[in-house]
């Protein structure tokens, strides 16, 4: 019964689908070549590698003999737990980015047109610094001898340093801080396109501000929310630099495990298997959230 319920489908544009002509393919060819050489081929190599095994006599050497042992190992509880917590941290990161980023994106998107670019620049400027430096900045704030503990102890609120670093909280904080703009930008794009008269129509029809938000503004900016969510969630799952710095090995994530297989553990095939599984997970996620096509407009 669809009666009185907000629609669950996303708005689609009325433009018909187009395929590129000969000139279009020519213009696309550099990109296609790039993607083929540096994305498709390496990914296929990774998949092949994941079915190989490690030379027991010379760790680090790959034996090109078919085996499923890497996948069997990947489904052991230890790794499933790490994958689970990685997904949880990534999900928390995306939710926190959404909660903090939406109001900012809305404010910028509804600001006077001349001021929007300035406000967007203010969001972007901090991210012109390397993310490593920004993450180290957090380390200096949160560590036991850090800024925050200094204030807490000087003011007498705590007597001993509080362990902020190397906790799941620190990992999520680092992720949220780094990925926030990836949430703000797509939502801003949706909010900016939102017709002011639609919001006015909601108020005019008796919607209080909260109802206008839930019934009209959120559904109509859904494409931005979905895009932002995935732009934050997906890279957060396998991010290893931030989790290594902020988690310090005490909070293992799947990204860290994969990275270690290719370096310290010298077990590239197992790392490749974990990577392939993540890839499959992303495809499943993409398929599950794919926007469904609506019937064409009839005039």
Distance of closest approach, residue 213 Cβ to another protein, in angstroms: 13
159 versus 196: smaller Cβ distance to another protein: 196
Binding of another protein by 213 (CB under 8 A): no
CA of 108: how far to CAs of 61, 72, 97, in Å?
53, 49, 16
Q: Binding residue for another protein (CB under 8 A) from 60, 68, 200, 263?
A: 200
Alpha-carbon distance values, 86 to 138, 200, 236 (Å): 20, 42, 8
* Using rule CB under 8 A, residue 4 touches another protein: yes
- Check residue 227 for interaction with another protein (CB under 8 A): no
Among 17, 18, 208, 290, binds another protein (CB under 8 A): 208
> Which of 18, 19, 21, 204 contacts another protein by CB under 8 A?
204
Quote the CA–CA distance of 116 and 186 in Å, as a whole number: 14
H/E run at residue 41: helix 41-50
Bridge partners of residue 53, in order along the sequence: 63
Binder among 33, 201, 214, 280 for another protein (CB under 8 A):
201
81 vs 115 by CB, closer to another protein? 115
Length of the chain in terms of residues written? 299
Query: Burial level of 176, CB count in 10 A (0-12/13-18/19+)?
Result: buried
- Which of 90-98, 119-127, 170-178, 194-202 is the region at the interface with another protein (rule: CB under 8 A)? 194-202
The answer to whether residue 241 forms part of the interface with another protein (CB under 8 A) is: no
Residue 2 to residue 58: CA distance in whole angstroms: 64
Q: Does 197 bind another protein (CB under 8 A)?
A: yes
Of 31, 157, 292, 299, the residue at the interface with another protein (CB under 8 A) is: 299
Judged by beta carbon, residue 30 or residue 295, the one nearer another protein is 295
* By the rule CB under 8 A, 291 interacts with another protein: no
Handedness of CA 109, 95, 127, 142 (dihedral sign): positive
Residue 273 — left, alpha, or beta (φ > 0 → left; ψ -120 to 50 → alpha)?
Answer: alpha
| Sites of contact with another protein (CB under 8 A) | 2-7, 9-12, 14, 195, 197-198, 200-208, 211, 215-216, 219-220, 294-295, 297-299
């Amino acid at each position: 019964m669809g009666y009185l319920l907000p629609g669950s489908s996303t708005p689609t544009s009325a433009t018909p689908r187009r395929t590129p002509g000969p000139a279009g393919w020519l213009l696309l060819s550099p990109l296609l070549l790039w993607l083929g050489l540096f994305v498709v081929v390496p990914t296929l190599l990774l998949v092949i590698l994941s079915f190989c095994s490690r030379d027991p006599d010379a760790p680090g050497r790959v034996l090109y003999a078919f085996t499923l042992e890497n996948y069997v190992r990947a489904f052991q509880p230890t790794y499933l737990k790490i994958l689970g917590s990685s997904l949880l941290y990534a999900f928390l990161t995306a939710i926190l980015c959404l909660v903090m980023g939406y109001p900012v994106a809305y404010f910028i998107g509804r600001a006077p047109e001349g001021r929007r670019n300035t406000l967007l620049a203010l969001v972007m400027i901090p991210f012109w610094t390397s993310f490593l430096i920004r993450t180290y900045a957090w380390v200096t704030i949160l560590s036991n001898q850090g800024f925050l503990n200094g204030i807490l102890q000087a003011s007498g609120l705590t007597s001993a340093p509080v362990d902020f670093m190397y906790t799941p909280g620190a990992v999520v904080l680092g992720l949220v801080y780094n990925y926030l703009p990836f949430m703000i930008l797509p939502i801003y794009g949706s909010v900016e396109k939102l017709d002011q008269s639609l919001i006015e129509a909601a108020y005019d029809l008796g919607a209080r501000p909260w109802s206008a938000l839930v019934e009209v503004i959120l559904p109509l900016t859904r494409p931005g929310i979905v895009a932002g969510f995935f732009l934050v969630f997906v890279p957060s799952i396998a991010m290893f630099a931030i989790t290594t710095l902020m988690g310090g090995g005490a909070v293992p994530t799947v990204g860290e495990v994969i990275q270690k297989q290719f370096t310290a553990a010298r077990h590239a095939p197992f790392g490749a298997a974990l990577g392939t599984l993540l890839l499959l997970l992303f495809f499943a996620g993409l398929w599950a959230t794919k926007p469904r096509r609506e019937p064409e407009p009839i005039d």
